[in-house]
Structure 1
Amino acid sequence: MKLAIFLVIIIGIFSLIGTILLGGKSDEDYSSATRGNLSRLTWMYVILALILLLGIAGYVIT
Protein backbone atom coordinates (compact mmCIF):
# COMPACT_ATOMS: atom_id res chain seq x y z
CA MET A 1 0.00 0.00 0.00
CA LYS A 2 2.84 2.38 0.80
CA LEU A 3 4.42 1.64 -2.57
CA ALA A 4 1.16 2.53 -4.37
CA ILE A 5 0.85 5.82 -2.49
CA PHE A 6 4.50 6.62 -3.25
CA LEU A 7 3.97 5.91 -6.97
CA VAL A 8 0.85 8.09 -7.07
CA ILE A 9 2.76 10.96 -5.45
CA ILE A 10 5.70 10.58 -7.87
CA ILE A 11 3.38 10.45 -10.91
CA GLY A 12 1.51 13.50 -9.57
CA ILE A 13 4.73 15.47 -9.18
CA PHE A 14 5.90 14.61 -12.72
CA SER A 15 2.46 15.49 -14.09
CA LEU A 16 2.52 18.85 -12.32
CA ILE A 17 5.98 19.66 -13.65
CA GLY A 18 4.98 18.64 -17.19
CA THR A 19 1.83 20.75 -17.02
CA ILE A 20 3.74 23.81 -15.84
CA LEU A 21 6.36 23.39 -18.57
CA LEU A 22 3.74 23.03 -21.31
CA GLY A 23 1.66 25.90 -19.91
CA GLY A 24 4.48 28.35 -20.57
CA LYS A 25 4.28 27.85 -24.33
CA SER A 26 1.79 30.03 -26.17
CA ASP A 27 -0.02 29.69 -29.47
CA GLU A 28 -0.18 32.72 -31.77
CA ASP A 29 -3.52 31.69 -33.34
CA TYR A 30 -5.19 30.96 -29.98
CA SER A 31 -7.59 33.93 -29.96
CA SER A 32 -8.85 33.39 -33.51
CA ALA A 33 -9.28 29.64 -32.96
CA THR A 34 -11.09 30.24 -29.67
CA ARG A 35 -13.78 32.35 -31.32
CA GLY A 36 -14.60 29.61 -33.83
CA ASN A 37 -14.51 26.90 -31.16
CA LEU A 38 -16.87 28.84 -28.90
CA SER A 39 -19.28 29.38 -31.77
CA ARG A 40 -19.36 25.66 -32.62
CA LEU A 41 -19.66 24.68 -28.97
CA THR A 42 -22.56 27.10 -28.45
CA TRP A 43 -24.43 25.61 -31.41
CA MET A 44 -23.82 22.10 -30.08
CA TYR A 45 -25.32 23.08 -26.72
CA VAL A 46 -28.32 24.72 -28.37
CA ILE A 47 -29.03 21.65 -30.49
CA LEU A 48 -28.51 19.34 -27.50
CA ALA A 49 -30.90 21.45 -25.40
CA LEU A 50 -33.57 21.22 -28.11
CA ILE A 51 -33.16 17.46 -28.39
CA LEU A 52 -33.36 17.08 -24.62
CA LEU A 53 -36.47 19.25 -24.42
CA LEU A 54 -38.13 17.19 -27.14
CA GLY A 55 -37.21 14.00 -25.30
CA ILE A 56 -38.57 15.28 -22.00
CA ALA A 57 -41.75 16.49 -23.69
CA GLY A 58 -42.20 13.10 -25.35
CA TYR A 59 -41.70 11.37 -22.02
CA VAL A 60 -44.17 13.60 -20.19
CA ILE A 61 -46.83 13.32 -22.90
CA THR A 62 -46.78 9.51 -23.07
Structure 2
Amino acid sequence: MEILIGLVILILIFSVVSTLFITGKPDKNYTGSTKRNTTNLTLIYVVIIFLALVSLGIYIWMT
Protein backbone atom coordinates (compact mmCIF):
# COMPACT_ATOMS: atom_id res chain seq x y z
CA MET A 1 0.00 0.00 0.00
CA GLU A 2 2.86 2.38 0.78
CA ILE A 3 4.29 1.80 -2.70
CA LEU A 4 1.01 2.80 -4.32
CA ILE A 5 0.69 5.94 -2.22
CA GLY A 6 4.26 6.83 -3.18
CA LEU A 7 3.43 6.23 -6.85
CA VAL A 8 0.41 8.55 -6.66
CA ILE A 9 2.50 11.24 -4.97
CA LEU A 10 5.21 10.85 -7.61
CA ILE A 11 2.63 11.23 -10.41
CA LEU A 12 1.21 14.31 -8.72
CA ILE A 13 4.64 15.91 -8.37
CA PHE A 14 5.51 15.09 -12.00
CA SER A 15 2.28 16.63 -13.30
CA VAL A 16 2.71 19.82 -11.27
CA VAL A 17 6.36 20.27 -12.26
CA SER A 18 5.62 19.54 -15.92
CA THR A 19 2.74 21.99 -16.01
CA LEU A 20 4.78 24.71 -14.32
CA PHE A 21 7.74 24.04 -16.63
CA ILE A 22 5.63 24.45 -19.75
CA THR A 23 3.54 27.40 -18.57
CA GLY A 24 6.32 29.15 -16.66
CA LYS A 25 8.15 30.43 -19.71
CA PRO A 26 6.88 33.72 -21.16
CA ASP A 27 6.22 33.48 -24.87
CA LYS A 28 6.43 36.54 -27.10
CA ASN A 29 4.67 34.77 -29.96
CA TYR A 30 1.72 33.52 -27.90
CA THR A 31 -0.73 32.98 -30.75
CA GLY A 32 1.75 30.90 -32.73
CA SER A 33 2.74 28.70 -29.82
CA THR A 34 -0.72 28.08 -28.35
CA LYS A 35 -1.20 24.95 -30.41
CA ARG A 36 2.18 23.57 -29.35
CA ASN A 37 1.53 24.30 -25.67
CA THR A 38 -1.90 22.73 -25.85
CA THR A 39 -0.42 19.64 -27.49
CA ASN A 40 2.29 19.37 -24.83
CA LEU A 41 -0.18 19.71 -21.98
CA THR A 42 -2.53 17.20 -23.59
CA LEU A 43 0.30 14.67 -23.91
CA ILE A 44 1.29 15.19 -20.28
CA TYR A 45 -2.25 14.65 -19.07
CA VAL A 46 -2.71 11.56 -21.26
CA VAL A 47 0.42 10.04 -19.74
CA ILE A 48 -0.68 10.97 -16.22
CA ILE A 49 -4.16 9.51 -16.70
CA PHE A 50 -2.64 6.33 -18.13
CA LEU A 51 -0.28 5.98 -15.16
CA ALA A 52 -3.14 6.68 -12.74
CA LEU A 53 -5.26 3.95 -14.35
CA VAL A 54 -2.36 1.50 -14.20
CA SER A 55 -1.86 2.39 -10.53
CA LEU A 56 -5.56 1.86 -9.87
CA GLY A 57 -5.41 -1.51 -11.63
CA ILE A 58 -2.43 -2.58 -9.53
CA TYR A 59 -4.21 -1.42 -6.39
CA ILE A 60 -7.36 -3.40 -7.24
CA TRP A 61 -5.30 -6.43 -8.20
CA MET A 62 -3.34 -6.36 -4.93
CA THR A 63 -6.38 -6.05 -2.65
Deviations 1:11-60 (A, max 9, x none): xxxxxxxxxxxxxxxx7611111110000000000000000000000000
Flag the structure with more relative contact order, 1 or 2, with Cα contacts below 8 A and sequence separation at least 6: 2
User: Could you tell me which amino acid in structure 2 is paired with residue 55 of structure 1?
Assistant: S
Aligned length: 36
Q: TM-score, normalised by structure 2?
A: 0.52
% same residue: 28
Consecutive unaligned residues in structure 2, runs of 5 or more: 1-26
Structure whose CA Rg is larger: 1
Consecutive unaligned residues in structure 1, runs of 5 or more: 1-26
User: Could you tell me which amino acid in structure 2 is paired with residue 51 of structure 1?
Assistant: L
CA distance in 1, matches of 2:58, 2:28: 47
Q: TM-score, normalised by structure 1?
A: 0.53
Aligned to 1:46: 46
CA RMSD in angstroms, aligned pairs only? 1.5
